[in-house]
Amino acid sequence: MLEVDGATAGFLVLKARKDTLRIEAVGVLPAYRKQGWGAWLLEWAAAEAGRLGLARLELHVSSGNGPALALYAKAGFQPVPRTWSGIQMERVLGK
């Protein structure tokens, strides 16, 4: 849970598997968007993956979610081959 000045501002749900930390869900409440909190959550997830000794972050995103796609690309995520209608992205850590 992300708190800003004592108020809930966002959330992050993670799941570790093999060499990957999967971002199951991430969100920032509307009042806190466009302030860098989404990027902060993604960097926190990368740090947590590193702490756990995991080599990559992974997430799925709808191909129609332009703002999320832009955020993930700016944070270093790259699309990977997929088998469903959304886009799977990953960020290889340590590079």
pLDDT digit string, tens, across residues 28-81: 999 999 999 999 999 999 999 999 999 999 999 988 899 999 999 999 999 987
pLDDT value at position 82?
67
Give the pLDDT confidence score for residue 87 in this predicted structure.
79
- Sign of torsion over alpha carbons 87, 2, 40, 51: negative
